[in-house]
Structure 1
């Protein structure tokens, strides 16, 4: 687990801080798992992936796509989920020279921009279309 690096940080430019999170999308016979990488300054989704499992691979693929397409951020923030603490995921961040920041346990507001994205996705699409 890594410390939360964003307390008091003023985000003033693109690629300064990115973050990621996973949300669950209910389906008729189970769940789909949606991961996104968002730039805190632009408040824009840089990459996303959908998976039928919670294995770390789809998160790693999403991160690598974002880095390929947009360069690399100075800081990458996530929660302490198993996918984001995995050697595969943190290995990409270390290899790219990206500082790792992690929310405190139970502190969803530490990653507020991704949480706001999930609220929009669910209320503007998932709950209306009812994929379950």
Structure 2
């Protein structure tokens, strides 16, 4: 874009293109050999332990003999676009576009099976990451009526578990869930 041999000055060319003059003169610096070694170690560790964040990776790197701090590991992870695979916050956040239903269990006496079912999703840590478990539970008997495990938090898994429970046990009077997006979807 900028032609250094043009009759217009570099300053004028940058102004006409509406770009910062600093970007014209900036030459990216290659990563230092030390950083490249650390980045290779982070890459190997991340492949083996994808759930580790910058703190745990720093601890593993220190055990391997690297003198590195957490912020440096974090910066290198950002440059490499490496992120820990972990449950993200806000899994029970309701979608504001979905209708909010009244809470039907307040002051309700649950006295028999198939009166009220509860449906919820939680995550289970595994050796390399985690999975989501969605379960349909009879509130009175506390019996698990159906369940699904999945590696993603999607509404289809909750729907499948609920449909299986309907098929096996009929329909209850009330199905209770939180306002999480996978349930209000």
**Residues 10-21 of structure 1 aligned to structure 2 (within 5 Å):** 10-21=109-120
| Relative contact order, higher structure (CA 8 A, sep 6+) | 1
Shift of 1:50: 0.3
C-alpha RMSD of matched pairs (Å): 0.9
- Alpha-carbon distance in 2 for matches of 1:37, 1:43: 10
* Deviations, residues 22-47 of structure 1 (Å, cap 9, x unaligned): 11111233220001000111110000
* Equivalent residue in structure 2 for 1:37, among 136, 148, 152: 136
**Higher strand proportion (structure 1 or 2):** 1
Matched, 1:76 2:175: yes
Q: Given the two structures, how large is their TM-score scaled by the length of structure 1?
A: 0.63
Q: Given the two structures, how large is their TM-score scaled by the length of structure 2?
A: 0.45
Residue ranges of structure 2 left out of the alignment (5+ in a row):
1-99
Higher Rg of the two aligned structures: 2
- Alpha-carbon distance in 1 for matches of 2:120, 2:102: 17
What is the number of equivalent residue pairs in this alignment?
86
What secondary structure is seen at the aligned counterpart in 1 of 2:163? Answer: helix
What secondary structure is seen at the aligned counterpart in 1 of 2:149? Answer: strand
Residue ranges of structure 1 left out of the alignment (5+ in a row):
87-132
* Deviations, residues 43-83 of structure 1 (Å, cap 9, x unaligned): 10000110010011111100000000000110111111111
Structure 1 segments (4+ residues) deviating >4 Å: none
